[in-house]
């Protein structure tokens, strides 16, 4: 038990040292004491970053839902597992107990089975933040099907791409979804997507908004009547520790999104252990993570991590601004939230509204505050600390990625002294390294480099679905024997890390990773566009907003630029989703390129950010003359 709940800084250092000196025995002890295995492993860890291949707890057998549900029934059967807070504050919250969850997951899993879903099949889940989303993924896990959740704000084209890439045979969706005062026709988006997805033969539809929708005979079925007829008992399928649990897509710096594949055993162990420590979770806490389950944060820290600890986890359907900007605080007060985990973009949006909404609410239940998704700026950090936590609730600035499965660099509350904008220390078992541009590790403190991880941890993604070569190229080729994160970081004099942002072509807008390539591809589909380049520029609320530089084809005609801007954003909305819309579009005669034809985004980024005092080395540019023109016309 001793290593499972770390309570002070000295203990952190002790446990940390133990975890890196002998990772195998450390993780074996955690795995043995705190989880339910049908059969123990033959080997704790085997790995080779050159191939790359990582295996944890090989030979072990388990089902993750037995760990997240069944084993709590005896002691926590009547405890709330999922506390659902609907979009409309007038609609009653739902308390789903562990016993209810057990029956609901079994029923859903029986329906999936009856519809022909078997172990290893891929099921796409395209649902809003309603309890069925959590139940659906657990039902997949119960029978060994691999879930692929697609965020229900993505467009039909983005959805179709993901369905086809994973070769899903079923889609689970709803008639519609609520977002504040709006409702969205989710089923319509699915119908459009499925015109291009020949492999899908079944669509299960949850009734939520009760809007009129098309039901395609033979393909589409309402879920509820099927659940009503299904048994609420089902023996979980026994899985290997290394069997895939889910696929989750993340943007890359080129083309197709990457379907990150997570395993069963290692993912369970790491998400549960991090959840317990990073949030200092105690039995009667009410924990709320505001993320969407469509992102990794929701997978690991709304569903699997909390449920593996028998926690009460809140699922919120709505948005922070509806019915007004006090909604989050309303929920904190109403449910006496103890841990609150959100994103810097939400903090900035709420901070902009001042403290009037906060002052009318009792936030005294809060013990720990968390942030994730992008670097948090100093102002937002202090606003959160002063007004939400009243300087009594430590802020855990948690750095991690879809690829890492769980939190990697973070303070441990009440142990690690926090420092604004610093994610602070590596979590237990995590061995970071900062690398210079020549591929050498920068040792010592006060370093600035590219963040890599030297040694595998249990929840590292095992591959990219259907493209192991890309997995190798993206994460294991930049530095020998290292996992490369794509982020830059600083390390201070006490060894604290500060993540400075992406060093590749991914831009984080409101906490969402957007690859530049797919957006540029979308823009280039406009018939008058010749070329484009996207960069991020600082934005008060979103963190970064998108700035597009677009060159037009020579047609001799003059074009209305405002109309073109609208049309370009329309294409982006259709292909990727409204998240990826550009805030500014500048039309230009040329884009700065290197002799090898690579667009020099570094320069475009500086111009968009109005930081042109030092553009750096432009000597390798093929067409330096376009830089002045771009600077003269910057928006």
Binding mask 239-278 for ligand 6R9 (x = CB under 6 A): -----------x----------------------------
Residue selected from 163, 490, 499, 519 as contacting ligand 6R9 according to rule CB under 6 A: 499
Asked if 513 is part of the footprint of ligand 6R9 (rule: CB under 6 A), the reply reads yes
CB nearer to ligand 6R9: give 49 or 399: 399
Asked if 328 is part of the footprint of ligand 6R9 (rule: CB under 6 A), the reply reads no
d(Cα 516, Cα 48) in Å, to the nearest integer?
Answer: 31
Binding mask 555-574 for ligand 6R9 (x = CB under 6 A): --------------------
Residues 361-380 that bind ligand 6R9 (CB under 6 A): 372-375
Residues 404-433 that bind ligand 6R9 (CB under 6 A): 423
Place of tokens 């696929």: 247
**Number of other CB atoms surrounding residue 248 within 10 Å:** 29
Asked if 345 is part of the footprint of ligand 6R9 (rule: CB under 6 A), the reply reads no
d(Cα 425, Cα 413) in Å, to the nearest integer?
Answer: 12
d(Cα 127, Cα 139) in Å, to the nearest integer?
Answer: 14
CB nearer to ligand 6R9: give 450 or 526: 450
Q: How far is the CB of 75 from ligand 6R9 (least distance, A)?
A: 31
CA dist list (Å): 460 to 137, 370, 402, 429:
20, 22, 9, 12
Cβ atoms 429, 44 nearer than 8 A:
no
d(Cα 419, Cα 432) in Å, to the nearest integer?
Answer: 19
Asked if 505 is part of the footprint of ligand 6R9 (rule: CB under 6 A), the reply reads no
CB nearer to ligand 6R9: give 65 or 513: 513
Q: Among 71-79, 158-166, 185-193, 396-404, which window interacts with ligand 6R9 (CB under 6 A)? A: 396-404
Q: What's the burial of 214, exposed, middle or buried (CB within 10 Å: 0-12/13-18/19+)?
A: exposed
Cβ atoms 248, 260 nearer than 8 A:
yes
Asked if 295 is part of the footprint of ligand 6R9 (rule: CB under 6 A), the reply reads yes
CB nearer to ligand 6R9: give 186 or 514: 514
Question: Which residue is closest to ligand 6R9 by CB?
Answer: 402
Q: How far is the CB of 403 from ligand 6R9 (least distance, A)?
A: 7
Which own/partner pairs from 439-446 qualify as long-range (CB within 8 Å, at least 24 positions apart)?
439/478, 439/479, 439/480, 445/491, 445/492, 445/493, 445/494, 445/495, 446/490, 446/491, 446/492, 446/493
Residue selected from 399, 471, 476, 483 as contacting ligand 6R9 according to rule CB under 6 A: 399
Q: Among 155-163, 229-237, 289-297, 359-367, which window interacts with ligand 6R9 (CB under 6 A)? A: 289-297
Check residue 323 and report its DSSP letter: S
Q: How far is the CB of 277 from ligand 6R9 (least distance, A)?
A: 16
Terminal Cα distance for the chain, rounded: 58
Q: How many CA atoms lie within 13 A of 262 on its CB side?
A: 33
Tokens for 307, please give them.
């449920």
Asked if 177 is part of the footprint of ligand 6R9 (rule: CB under 6 A), the reply reads no
Strands 529-539 vs 286-289: parallel, antiparallel or unpaired: unpaired
Q: Among 104-112, 179-187, 293-301, 329-337, which window interacts with ligand 6R9 (CB under 6 A)? A: 293-301
* Contacting positions for ligand 6R9 (CB under 6 A): 250, 295-297, 372-375, 397-402, 423, 485-487, 499, 502, 508, 513
């Amino acid at each position: 038990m001793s290593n499972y709940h770390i309570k002070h800084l000295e203990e952190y250092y002790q446990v940390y040292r133990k975890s890196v000196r002998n990772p195998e025995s450390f993780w074996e002890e955690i795995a043995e004491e705190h989880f339910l295995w049908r059969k123990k492993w033959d080997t704790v860890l085997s790995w080779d970053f050159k191939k790359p291949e990582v295996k944890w707890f090989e030979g072990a057998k388990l089902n993750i839902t037995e760990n997240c549900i069944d084993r709590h029934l005896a002691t926590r059967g009547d405890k709330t597992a999922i506390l659902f807070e609907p979009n409309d504050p007038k609609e009653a919250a739902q308390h789903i107990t562990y016993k209810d969850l057990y029956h609901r997951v079994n029923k859903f899993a029986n329906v999936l089975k009856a519809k022909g879903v078997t172990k290893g099949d891929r099921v796409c889940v395209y649902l809003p933040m309603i309890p069925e989303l959590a139940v659906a993924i657990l039902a997949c896990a119960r029978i060994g099907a691999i879930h692929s959740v697609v965020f229900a704000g993505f467009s039909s084209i983005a959805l179709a791409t993901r369905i086809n890439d994973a070769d899903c045979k079923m889609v689970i969706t709803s008639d519609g979804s609520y977002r504040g005062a709006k409702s969205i026709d989710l089923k319509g988006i699915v119908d459009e997507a499925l015109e291009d997805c020949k492999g899908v033969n079944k669509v299960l539809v949850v009734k939520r908004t009760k809007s009129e929708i098309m039901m395609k005979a033979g393909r589409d079925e309402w879920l509820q009547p099927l659940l009503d007829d299904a048994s609420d008992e089902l023996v979980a399928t026994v899985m290997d520790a290394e069997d895939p649990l889910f696929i989750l897509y993340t943007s890359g710096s080129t083309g197709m999104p990457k379907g990150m594949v997570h395993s069963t055993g290692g993912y369970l162990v790491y998400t549960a252990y991090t959840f317990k420590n990073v949030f200092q979770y105690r039995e009667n806490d009410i924990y709320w993570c505001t993320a969407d389950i469509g992102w990794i944060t929701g997978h690991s820290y709304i569903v699997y991590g909390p449920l593996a600890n028998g926690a009460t986890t809140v699922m919120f359907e709505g948005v922070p601004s509806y019915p007004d900007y006090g909604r989050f605080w309303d929920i904190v007060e109403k449910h006496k939230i103890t841990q609150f985990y959100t994103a810097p973009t939400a903090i900035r949006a709420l901070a902009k509204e001042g403290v009037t909404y906060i002052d009318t609410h009792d936030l005294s239940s809060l013990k720990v505050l968390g942030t994730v998704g992008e670097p948090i700026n100093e102002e937002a950090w202090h606003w959160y600390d002063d007004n939400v936590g009243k300087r009594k609730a430590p802020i855990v600035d948690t750095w991690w990625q879809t690829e890492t499965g769980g939190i990697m660099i973070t303070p441990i509350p009440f142990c690690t002294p926090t420092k604004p904008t610093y994610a602070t220390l590596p979590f237990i078992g995590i061995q970071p390294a900062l690398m210079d541009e020549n591929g050498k590790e920068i040792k010592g403190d006060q370093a600035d480099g590219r963040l890599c991880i030297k040694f595998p941890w249990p929840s590292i993604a095992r591959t990219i679905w259907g493209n192991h070569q890309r997995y190798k190229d993206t994460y294991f080729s930049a530095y020998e024997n290292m996992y490369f994160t794509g982020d830059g970081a600083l390390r201070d004099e006490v060894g604290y890390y500060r993540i400075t942002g992406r060093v590749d072509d991914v831009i984080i807008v409101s906490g969402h990773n957007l690859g530049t390539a797919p957006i540029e591809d979308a823009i280039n589909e406009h018939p008058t566009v010749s070329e484009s380049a996207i960069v991020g520029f600082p934005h008060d609320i979103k963190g970064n907003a998108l700035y597009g530089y677009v060159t037009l084809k020579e047609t001799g005609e003059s074009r209305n630029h405002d109309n073109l801007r609208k049309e370009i954003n329309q294409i982006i909305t259709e292909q990727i989703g409204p998240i990826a819309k550009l805030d500014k579009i500048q039309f230009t005669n040329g884009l700065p390129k290197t002799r090898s034809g690579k667009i020099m985004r570094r320069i475009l980024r500086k111009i968009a950010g109005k930081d042109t005092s030092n553009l750096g080395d432009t000597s390798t540019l093929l067409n330096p003359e376009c830089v002045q023109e771009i600077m003269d016309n910057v928006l």
